[in-house]
Chain A
Amino acid sequence: MAANETTAAAMTSPRDSEAIAARDRAAEYLVSRHRYRWAEALPWLACIAVFFLFPDRLTFGSQVLVMVLFALSLDLILGYAGIVTLGHAAFFGIGAYTVGLGAAKFGWTEPVSGLFAAFVVASIAGFITGWFLLRYRGLTLLMLTLATAIMMQEAGNLRSDLSGGYDGLPGLVFDPLLGRFDYDLYGHTNYVYALVVLAVVFYFVRRIVYSPFGQALTGIRENVRRMHAIGSPVHWRLVTVYTIAAGIAGIAGALFTQTNAYVTLTVFDFENSAKVMVMLILGGTGRLYGAFLGAAVYMVLEDYFSKLSPTFWQFGIGLLLVLAVLFARRGVLGLFEQAGAYFGKDKNLDKNLDKNKGTKP
Chain B
Amino acid sequence: MPQFAIIAVSILFDGLAYAMFLFITSVGLSVTMGLMGFVNLAHGAFAMAGGYIVVSLTRNLGIGFAPSLAIAAVVVGAVSVIFERGLYRRLYKATDLEQVLLTIGLAFMAIATATYLYGPIPKSVPLPTWLQGDISLGFRAFPTYRAFLIVLGIVLISVLWYAFEKTNIGAKIRAAVDNRRMAESVGINVDLLFTLTFALGSGLAALGGGLAIQLFGLSPSFAVLYLVLFLIVVAVGGLGSLKGTLLAALVIGVIDTGGKYLYAEAGGFFIYAITVIVLLIKPAGFYGRE
| Distance A328 CA – B98 CA, assembled complex (angstroms) | 11
The 8 sampled A-B contact pairs (Cβ below 8 Å) are: A86-B100, A144-B280, A147-B232, A147-B276, A314-B109, A315-B113, A318-B111, A326-B90
A325 touches B272 (CB 8 A): no
A139 touches B235 (CB 8 A): yes
B269 touches A158 (CB 8 A): yes
B279 touches A322 (CB 8 A): no
B228 touches A (CB below 8 Å): yes
| Distance A16 CA – B142 CA, assembled complex (angstroms) | 84
Q: Could you say which of A44-52, A149-157, A195-203, A234-242 contacts chain B?
A: A149-157
A329 touches B98 (CB 8 A): yes
Minimum CB–CB distance from B246 to chain A (whole Å) comes to 18
A315 touches B272 (CB 8 A): no
B283 touches A136 (CB 8 A): yes
| Chain A interface residue bracket vs B | 35 or more
B186 touches A (CB below 8 Å): no
| B residues in contact with A312, CB < 8 Å | 112
B275 touches A281 (CB 8 A): no
What does DSSP make chain B's interface, helix, strand, loop or mixed?
helix
B24 touches A (CB below 8 Å): no
| A residues in contact with B224, CB < 8 Å | 270
Partner of B112, one of A150, A281, A318: A318
Q: Which of A301-322 contact B (CB under 8 A)?
A: 311-312, 314-315, 317-322
Partner of A84, one of B96, B109, B273, B279: B96
A154 touches B108 (CB 8 A): no
Minimal Cβ-Cβ distance residue in B for A138:
B96
Partner of B108, one of A84, A151, A281, A321: A321
What does DSSP make chain A's interface, helix, strand, loop or mixed?
helix
Minimal Cβ-Cβ distance residue in A for B90:
A326
Minimal Cβ-Cβ distance residue in B for A285:
B97
A274 touches B104 (CB 8 A): yes
Max count, chain B CB within 10 A of own CB: residue among A142, A154, A155, A318: A318
| Distance A332 CA – B253 CA, assembled complex (angstroms) | 43
A272 touches B (CB below 8 Å): no
**How many residues on B have C-beta within 8 angstroms of the other chain's C-beta atoms?**
46
Which A-B residue pairs are the 3 nearest by beta carbons? A321-B105, A318-B108, A315-B112
B66 touches A (CB below 8 Å): no
A150 touches B279 (CB 8 A): no
Interface bits B243-287 vs A (CB < 8 Å: 1, else 0): 000000000000000000000011111001101100110011000
Minimum CB–CB distance from B41 to chain A (whole Å) comes to 9
A140 touches B284 (CB 8 A): yes
| A residues in contact with B105, CB < 8 Å | 317-322, 324-325
B91 touches A325 (CB 8 A): yes
A143 touches B (CB below 8 Å): yes
A151 touches B272 (CB 8 A): yes
Minimal Cβ-Cβ distance residue in A for B274:
A147
Minimal Cβ-Cβ distance residue in A for B116:
A311
A142 touches B96 (CB 8 A): yes
B33 touches A (CB below 8 Å): yes
| Distance A140 CA – B239 CA, assembled complex (angstroms) | 10
A143 touches B275 (CB 8 A): yes
| B residues in contact with A314, CB < 8 Å | 108-109, 111-112, 115
| Distance A148 CA – B97 CA, assembled complex (angstroms) | 19
B107 touches A (CB below 8 Å): yes
Interface bits A143-181 vs B (CB < 8 Å: 1, else 0): 110111011001101100000000000000000000000
B75 touches A (CB below 8 Å): no
| Distance A321 CA – B97 CA, assembled complex (angstroms) | 12
11 further A-B pairs in the complex, CB-CB below 8 A; given A147-B275, A154-B268, A158-B265 = A139-B39, A142-B231, A147-B276, A151-B272, A155-B269, A281-B97, A315-B109, A315-B112, A321-B101, A321-B105, A326-B87
Minimal Cβ-Cβ distance residue in A for B33:
A139
B102 touches A (CB below 8 Å): yes
| Distance A146 CA – B39 CA, assembled complex (angstroms) | 14
| A residues in contact with B87, CB < 8 Å | 322, 326
| Distance A326 CA – B86 CA, assembled complex (angstroms) | 11
Known: A78-B97, A322-B106. A147 touches B272 (CB 8 A): yes
Interface bits B101-144 vs A (CB < 8 Å: 1, else 0): 11011111111110110000000000000000000000000000
| Distance A270 CA – B224 CA, assembled complex (angstroms) | 9
A132 touches B (CB below 8 Å): yes
| A residues in contact with B272, CB < 8 Å | 147, 150-151, 154
Interface bits B82-96 vs A (CB < 8 Å: 1, else 0): 000001001100111
A150 touches B115 (CB 8 A): no
A325 touches B101 (CB 8 A): yes
Partner of A144, one of B102, B108, B276: B276
| Distance A314 CA – B116 CA, assembled complex (angstroms) | 11
| Distance A329 CA – B275 CA, assembled complex (angstroms) | 32
Max count, chain B CB within 10 A of own CB: residue among A86, A155, A277, A322: A322
| A residues in contact with B39, CB < 8 Å | 139, 142
A84 touches B100 (CB 8 A): yes
| A residues in contact with B110, CB < 8 Å | 318
| Distance A139 CA – B111 CA, assembled complex (angstroms) | 23
A151 touches B269 (CB 8 A): yes
Max count, chain B CB within 10 A of own CB: residue among A139, A148, A281: A139
| Distance A270 CA – B229 CA, assembled complex (angstroms) | 13
Partner of A311, one of B91, B95, B112, B235: B112
Max count, chain B CB within 10 A of own CB: residue among A136, A277, A315: A315
A281 touches B101 (CB 8 A): yes
A319 touches B269 (CB 8 A): no
| A residues in contact with B106, CB < 8 Å | 318, 322
Minimum CB–CB distance from A266 to chain B (whole Å) comes to 14
Partner of A325, one of B98, B232, B280: B98
Minimal Cβ-Cβ distance residue in B for A329:
B98
| Distance A326 CA – B100 CA, assembled complex (angstroms) | 13
Partner of A322, one of B109, B116, B228: B109
| A residues in contact with B276, CB < 8 Å | 144, 147-148, 151
